[in-house]
A and B are shown apart, each in its own frame.
Chain A
Amino acid sequence: MDLLLLILTVPFAFGVIMFLMPLHFKFLQTFHILLSVIVSSLLLCAVGKVVNKEVLSLFHDFIFLDSMGAIFLSLIAITGLLANVYATTYMKWELEGGHISLREVKNYFALSFIFTWTMSLSVLCNNIAFMWAAIEATTLASVFLVAVHNDKKSTESGYKYIVLCSIGLAFALYATILLYSAANGKIDGEAMLYTNLLANAASLDPMALKLVFIFALIGFGTKAGLAPTHTWLPDVHAEGPAPTSALLSGVLLKCAMLGLIRYYAVVANGVGFDFVETIMAVSGTLTLFVSAFFLIRQHNVKRMFAYHSIAHMGVIAFGLGVGGAIGLFAALFHCAAHSFTKALAFCSTAISPEFTVRKI
């Protein structure tokens, strides 16, 4: 069976299976770790094939894995696995503390597989509209990973998350539609495929591409936490359970950034690097300053880390703004470095039932 097909089906199937499992915590805990290891192994196998210069594609290039995607897929595999393993212990403490029911724990484990599935799909989609749908699906899959409890704060964070991300991503869908209509009939092959768009970007209308990039920046920038549409991030990261915050900050923000990088590449090939680099440098600098301003006023540890994540997304955007081989390498390297360190930072806010850091 094709490896990409396995990646497209197995995490979703595991999510459904987990929903059907009996309410026995020890069993759920072991099963969750086992399934997480299988999912991450599949993802890393695909990454390994790309490292060995194999070309992975499926359904006439509708789904593909390139070297850029492989970097982000490895983040889903490694950070995702570590956060999922940590989640089993965290949920045990929550269960023992009476903060959560066993059914809610089971649903949490099941949803985390659906979330991994949507993130993997967003990385693997060559069709840009389906990539958008997958990124939007990451929001939908993770709402109840954030709003785990039924209290006011939890509900408020879930509300802000879905509303702000849905509005933001609507602009990204407009970017997608505009890019398709600008390319349709002007390039050979399917105008929705990223690889075709990238290869033929020079033949696209420059004004349309500039507008596309601005829409894409608003859309994917909202999801990636770039200022000024970053406001959902502190509330959601701070209110969700620590493993959810680790997954959101460590992996999800990077998946949205990959969406933006895909548009960055197409538009840069069409209108030149100066335009996209200038916009990314301005966006990155603005994000850095805004997040730093709010960061110094925080006392809640998770909110501090959330603003810190925004600052680092600003650094990544600034790296893309610098451009060239060094700038792009720095941006991608920082994606990986921030994924591991920030996930660990969020997990360290709750290292035992007695030691849960809230304020400093």
Chain B
Amino acid sequence: MATINLIDIIAVLMMGTSFAVFSLRQYRHSVLAYALQTLLLVAIFLALYDKYDSHELLVWSVTAFIIKVVCVPLYLLRLIKKLGVVVEDEPVGGFFISPVVALSFSLAVAMMFYKVFIHFSIFKDVLPLFAASFIFMMGIFGFILRTSFLKQILSYCLLENGIHLSLALMAYTSHELVEVGILTDAVFAVIIMSILAKRFYASYGSLNTSKAVNLRG
């Protein structure tokens, strides 16, 4: 019973941290919120392993900890330091409206998705399934509403965490190479986006992607 509660609590905390990653204005704080969320993701893997004795998730938690809790946040913090940026530019709709829009729409979409997913999920835990869809949608809205390139990289990381949690709940029994392939893609995507962010900053003197209007038409 204690484990069941723990999984639900971690799921809610993950949702809270995804909101923090989206909303916090200082890049450094956002990255730290992301690291915390991924730590919670590792914790939920371990809790699921404990509850269902799914050995695969123990391996997943180790790889996720090394790559996503340690390496990716350190890489992003290094990028922030290198660029010398502190606070992001004003997003679409302002700093107050955009989190409210993202939160409400993500909750609405997650409410639709989890009811479908729970029919087919291997683990029938309601809150983690809901949290997975919610985090995924927060990532999508991060791309739409936040105009900072760095925030969009963090949104990709959020989106990827949502998918990773869905994968653990719905398809952890799949071939082990699947997780390796998806995780490798995610890491390379972050690295490539970071290189492009550096180039972007060098070209535009800012990370504001709304300035990228040379190719419209």
Q: Are B217 and A298 in contact (CB under 8 A)?
A: yes
Give the A-B pair count, Cβ closer than 8 A.
133
Pick from B116, B171, B185: contact of A137, CB below 8 A. B185
Asked if B215 CB lies within 8 Å of chain A CBs, one says yes
Q: Which of A129, A130, A184, A235 contacts B215 (CB 8 A)?
A: A235
Provide the bound-state CA to CA distance between A177 and B121, in Å: 9
Nearest chain B residue, comparing its CB with the CB of A135 = B185
- Which chain B positions have C-beta within 8 A of A173? 163, 182
Which chain A positions have C-beta within 8 A of B152?
A: 163
Q: Among A144, A174, A238, A298, point to the contact of B166 (Cβ < 8 A).
A: A174
- Cβ distance A302 to chain B, nearest Cβ, rounded Å: 11
Q: Once the chains are docked, how many angstroms separate the CA of A350 from the CA of B26?
A: 46
Complex contacts, B196 vs chain A, CB 8 Å: 143, 147, 155, 158-159, 162
A167 in contact (CB, < 8 A) = yes
- Contact yes or no, A156 B182, CB < 8 A: no
Whether B171 contacts A181 by the Cβ 8 Å rule is: yes
Residues in A whose Cβ lies below 8 Å from that of B95: none
Q: Is the pair A155, B203 in contact by a Cβ cutoff of 8 Å? A: yes
Interface residues of A in 178-195 (CB under 8 A from B): 178, 180-182, 184, 190-192
Q: Which of B120, B143, B174, B196 has the most CB of A within 10 A?
A: B120
B181 at the interface (CB under 8 A from A): yes
A250 to B97, CA, bound (A): 43
Judged by DSSP, the binding face of B is: helix
For the complex formed, measure the closest distance between the CB of A58 and the CB atoms of chain B, giving whole angstroms: 13
B1 at interface (Cβ–Cβ under 8 A)? no
Q: Per-residue CB proximity of B146-157 to A under 8 Å, as 1/0?
A: 000100100010
Chain B interface residues toward A at CB < 8 A: 116-117, 119-122, 136, 139-140, 143, 149, 152, 156, 159-160, 163, 166-167, 170-171, 173-175, 177-178, 181-182, 184-185, 188-189, 192-193, 196, 199-200, 202-204, 209, 212, 214-215, 217
Residues B119 and A208 in contact, CB atoms below 8 Å apart: yes
**B175 / chain A contacts, CB cutoff of 8 Å:** 62, 127, 129-130, 190, 192
A262 to B80, CA, bound (A): 41
Counting CB contacts under 8 A, is A211 at the interface?
yes
Cβ of A354 < 8 Å from any Cβ of B?
no
Is B143 touching A180 in the complex (CB atoms < 8 A)? Answer: no
A32 within 8 A of B: no
Nearest chain-B residue to A173 (Cβ)? Answer: B163
Which residues of B have CB within 8 Å of A162? 189, 192-193, 196
A150 / chain B contacts, CB cutoff of 8 Å: 199, 202-203
What are 29 A-B contacts with C-beta separation under 8 Å? A129-B178, A129-B182, A133-B184, A136-B185, A143-B192, A151-B203, A152-B203, A153-B214, A155-B200, A155-B203, A156-B200, A158-B199, A159-B149, A159-B196, A160-B212, A160-B215, A162-B196, A163-B152, A170-B159, A177-B163, A177-B167, A177-B170, A180-B171, A181-B122, A184-B120, A191-B174, A205-B120, A208-B119, A303-B217
